[in-house]
Every structure is written in structure tokens, then in C-alpha cells.
Amino acid sequence: MADARRPVNLTRPVALYARLAVESARGGDRLYTDSLMTLARDLSAGERDALVQARDGALAALHGFASWLEERIPQMAAWAPMGRAHYEEYLHRVYLLPIDADQLAMLGVAELNRYRGLESLLADPAMASPDPARAAHVPADQQAFLAAYQAREKEMIEFLRQRRLVTLPPYLGPFTIRELPEAFKPTSPGGFMNPPGLYDRDPEGFYFIPSYNPKSGNFYIRAAIEDPRPILGHEGIPGHFLQISIANHLQDEIRRQHGDGVFVEGWALYGEEMLTRQGLYPEGSAAQGQVLRLSRYRAARVGADVNLHTGKWSFEEAVRYFMEAGGLDREAAEGEAAGAAASPLQKITYITGKWQIMGLLGRYRDGKGAQFRLGAFHDQLLSYGSLPLSVIEWLMLDDPSLLESALRMQR
């Protein structure tokens, strides 16, 4: 009888994962030639020579590994879905969600239809697709691009403070924009956010954006040139950086350690639309259109993830769905599909979490009546850390019904 704990992905590697690994290994040179060498500033000549020798050896090993992997890809196993039973077990046991795969897929379709339709209701629907040609200023180079991106953060913070939309704690550190290393592009085509670690003394956070190219077709580059605020709000303040920084400072150690992806991504996506509806972006503006497109393709993520991992779609079908339904370019769509295939259920967290937060917001407001204040809701919501939203609803509203429903659905 086969051992269920046997590491099948190691003994029978999957071709898709190997291709992603090859791309990452070959794109990682600058992590060593640039990032690593910042350590060499205070080294002696001998120590620097030893570091360079170790660096060059590591790079040779990485490229050798990539070639070794690539030669063996034709003999590797095809990618296979996790299957509906395992998929729903994750929904109920890990995310504590009271829905099954079919209900989740329907949520994705409903949200996709909503945001696709809202794009069409814009005075100029083309505003939903970022276009650097509409930008008032196109950065001259990589450094100017990063500086222009980061400069928009101050106005967002001031907007939040003036409207009392969320409390910014005194321990909050700086949030910095950096260039995305090539090694991370295969599965993170839009970049990623690096928050302060749970026990870090340094409170700084980083967002890594793909390399600047004013002629790029990449959605994230085009968006960052025209107006970076929607993505900046998602990744920085009031999004991931603020939320995770607050969670890291909770007194309860169990809550500090918990990192529920549905809450984390749901909060950041919720913040995009919240800022729009609170008036940060002018009506019909490129930023407002971008928020709709961002929600549209996050909704497409749900359908791609469910159908890939329950075995209904092939990888190429997921890519086409991201392009046709989600409105993404081919490069971004392939990266999204690769990320979905490599990390089951991560892609559902955005829309699912936003959906739960919106439901919680409505119930909270009904309960508060005339005493309701949006900023107070945000502060209380963030005070629990990154817990499943069914647990937060129990804590915030003293209503465990969603949690109990999820527990009943566990196999």
C-alpha cells in the first residue's frame, strides 16, 4: 500500500512546476550580482573576494540546475488537479468558509459579471485598461519610475487621515517601492509585497513592481505609469502593509501568528473600492476604471482556481479565461494561471474575503445605526489580526452562525 505521506512532487516532479523553476533560476542573477553585493560594502578585500567566489559558484549551480531540469521536462509528470474533495476540505478546514466549490464558482461569476458590467457603464469604458499615453508624465527611467510611484503614497495617507477612515499607529514604518527581481516574475507577474516580519525590529515594508518599460503590455506596469494609487493602496496603506503591521503588534500570540489569506487579501481588495467610493478618485477617471478592472480579474481568479483544481479546465483554458473574461494581457494571464496552478486556493482569497467583509460591514452598520462610523469599523476589524472572517464575525457581532456552518460542512 502506498504511503500517503510520500513526497510525490519530489519523486515524480511535475513538468509545469519544473518550467516555472527553470524560469526563476535563470532570472535570479541580479539577486546575487546586485542585492547580495550590498553586503560587500564593509568587507575587507579578502572577505569580498571570498564572497564573489561563493556568489559565482552559486550562480553557476543555479544555471546548471536549470539546464538539468529543462532536459528532463519531457519525461516529467503532467500537472494534475487536487480534486474536488481535497479542494472543499481546504475551504472548510483551513479557511472556515461555509460554501462548497459550486457556490464559490458562482460567487466568482456573479462578481465578474458585476465588475465587467460596471466597466461598461463608465463614460469611457477604455479607462478600465491602463494606458501610459494618457499619463501626464511618463518617467524617464527605472529610478524615476520607482520615485514617482512612491511619491503618491503621501496624498493617500493624508486622505485617510482627513476622512478618519483608519487609524495609522505610531509604530508604522516606511513603505518602499523596489524593482521586482526577474526570478519572481514567472508566478508573480504583478509583483508582490514584503511586509515586516513578525519579530523584525525594522518596521519597513516593500512592494516589488516589475521592471520599468514604458512600452510594456504588462497590466501592472501600464497601471503604475498612469496612476499607481489603486495598487499602492492594495499593497501599502491602507492595504497589506498597514494590516499586517497592526497584526504583528497584537498582544495575543496566537492571533499574531495566524495569517488567514482570505482576510489578508480580502481587506486589501476591499480597500481599493472603499477608497473609490469615499472619493479619492474622480468620477470616470483612469484610477476609478483601474479599480474596476482589478476587481474584474480578481473575480476571474475564482473561476480559474476552482475549475483548474476540481479538474474541469486545462491550464490553457485558465489562461484564456483570464484574457477573455478577466481582461488581462497574455503575459499577465499566463502568470496568473501559473500562480493558480502552483498555489491552490490562493487566488480565491481576494474576492471571497472582500465579499465577507462587505457582508460584515452591512451588518455592523445596521447594528450601530446613527452611531455608525466607517473608520471605527475599520479599526475594530483590523484589531483582531489575520483571522478567518467567520471567526471575526463571531467576535465582532457575537454571532457564530457562519463559523458553525463551516464546521458542519467539514467532512
Structure confidence by residue, pLDDT tens digits, 6-22: 566 677 889 988 998 89
Q: How confident is the model at residue 41 (pLDDT cuts 50, 70, 90)?
A: confident
* Average pLDDT rounded to a whole number, residues 268-280: 97
Check whether 300 has a pLDDT greater than 60. Answer: yes
Average pLDDT for 319-335: 90
- Check residue 5 and give its pLDDT: 52
Which of the 8 DSSP states describes residue 35? Answer: I
- Pick from 330, 242, 231: nearest CA to 281: 231
Are 234 and 299 within one domain?
yes
CA atoms of 53 and 122, how far apart (whole Å)? 57
What is the predicted pLDDT for the residue at 6? Answer: 57
The pLDDT confidence band at residue 61, using thresholds 50, 70 and 90, is: very high
Same domain, 161 and 285: yes
- In a domain? residue 143: yes
Lowest mean pLDDT among 11-20, 48-57, 97-106: 11-20
| Percentage of residues in the chain having pLDDT higher than 70 | 97
Predicted pLDDT of residue 354: 98
Residue 393 domain flag? no
Q: For 234-249, what is the mean pLDDT?
A: 96
Q: Are residues 88 and 213 in the same domain?
A: yes
Of 373, 301, 392, nearest to 344 by C-alpha is 301
Residues 145, 30, single domain; the answer is: no
- Do both 64 and 104 map to the same domain? no
1 within domain boundaries: no
- What is the total count of domains within the chain? 2
Residues 349-364: tens digit of each pLDDT: 999 999 999 999 999 9
Q: What is the mean pLDDT of the chain?
A: 92
d(CA 270, CA 52): 46
Mean pLDDT of 315-335: 91
Q: pLDDT per residue over 204-226, tens digit each?
A: 999 988 888 888 888 888 998 99
Q: Print the domain residue range for 37.
A: 8-75
**Residue 209 located in a structural domain:** yes
Residue 391 included in any domain? no
On whether residue 378 sits in a domain, the answer given is no
| Last-in-domain residue among 75, 102, 134 | 75
Across the range 76-94, mean pLDDT stands at 94
| Beta strand ranges found along 12-97 (DSSP E) | none
- pTM for this entry: 0.89
Indicate whether 65 and 107 sit together in one domain: no
Q: What is the pLDDT of residue 249?
A: 95
Q: Does a structural domain hold residue 152?
A: yes
Which of 343, 371, 377 minimizes the C-alpha distance to 358? 377
Q: Are residues 332 and 196 in the same domain?
A: yes
Domain's final residue, options 58, 75, 92: 75
Together in a domain, 132 and 106: yes
pLDDT tens, residue by residue, 284-293 = 899 999 999 9
Question: Contact 288/282 with Cβ under 8 angstroms?
Answer: yes
**Per-residue model confidence (pLDDT) at position 64:** 95
Which grid cell sits at 243? Answer: 494590516
Residue range 139-154: average pLDDT? 89
Considering the domain architecture, whether residues 240 and 317 belong to the same structural domain is answered as yes
Check residue 2 and give its pLDDT.
Answer: 45
In DSSP terms, which residues pair with 161 in a beta bridge?
A: none
- 348: pLDDT strictly greater than 90: yes
Is 53 within the bounds of a domain? yes
Cis omega (within 30 of 0) on the bond before 74? Answer: no
Q: Are residues 88 and 70 in the same domain?
A: no
Q: What share of the chain in percent tops pLDDT 90? A: 72
Q: Are residues 226 and 115 in the same domain?
A: yes
The last residue of one of the domains, among 45, 75, 105, is 75
Q: Are residues 36 and 101 in the same domain?
A: no
Whether residue 239 is predicted with pLDDT greater than 60 in this model: the reply is yes
Alpha carbons 205 and 389: distance in angstroms, whole number: 25
The amino acid at 118: L
386 three-class SS: strand
* Mean pLDDT, range 131-141, rounded to an integer: 90
